[in-house]
């Protein structure tokens, strides 16, 4: 029973979330939504550029208003995406910090090995 709890804890710490959690699904959905918002914004911009040659007066004002609305929606989507990335990053920092505090010797070993690998790669590039 204890071994299963330890295994679940390691899995949760490694990935930053509970196995099967909706956190990763929400992040993917937010990224997809932001991507779609950007795609729609670009399409509206292209439409406006093509239509500006024949627009005048009220039609131009409506097109301009539509473009400003799309810009506001794109900014809002970018803000949601940014907040999500920041939240996930902070969570992962806490997970890594907890791991380093719980396993200081393993963390030190990982750091030494990573430093050696980077050093070897850098020394081969100079030659």
pLDDT tier, 2 (very low <50, low <70, confident <90, very high otherwise): very low
pTM (2 d.p.): 0.47
What is the tens place of the pLDDT at every residue in 55-113? Answer: 677 877 787 788 788 788 878 888 888 888 899 999 999 999 999 999 999 999 999 99
Q: What pLDDT is attached to residue 94?
A: 95
B/e letters for 24-63, b = 16+ CB within 10 Å, e = fewer, are eeebeebeeebeebeeebeebeeebeeeeeeeeeeeeeeb
Domain boundaries, the chain: 2-126
pLDDT tier, 43 (very low <50, low <70, confident <90, very high otherwise): confident
Whole-number mean pLDDT of the chain?
Answer: 75
Nearest to 91 by CA among 112, 99, 120: 99
């Amino acid at each position: 029973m204890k071994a299963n709890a330890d295994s679940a804890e390691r899995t949760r710490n490694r990935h930053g979330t509970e196995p099967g959690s909706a956190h990763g699904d929400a992040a993917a959905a937010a990224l997809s939504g932001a991507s779609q918002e950007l795609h729609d914004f670009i399409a509206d911009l292209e439409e406006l550029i093509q239509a500006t040659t024949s627009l005048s007066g009220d039609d131009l004002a409506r097109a301009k208003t539509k473009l400003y609305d799309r810009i506001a929606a794109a900014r809002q989507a970018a803000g949601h995406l940014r907040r999500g990335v920041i939240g996930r990053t902070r969570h992962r920092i806490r997970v890594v910090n907890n791991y380093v505090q719980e396993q200081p010797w393993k963390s030190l070993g990982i750091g030494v090995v990573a430093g050696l690998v980077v050093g070897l790669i850098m020394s081969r590039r100079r030659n």
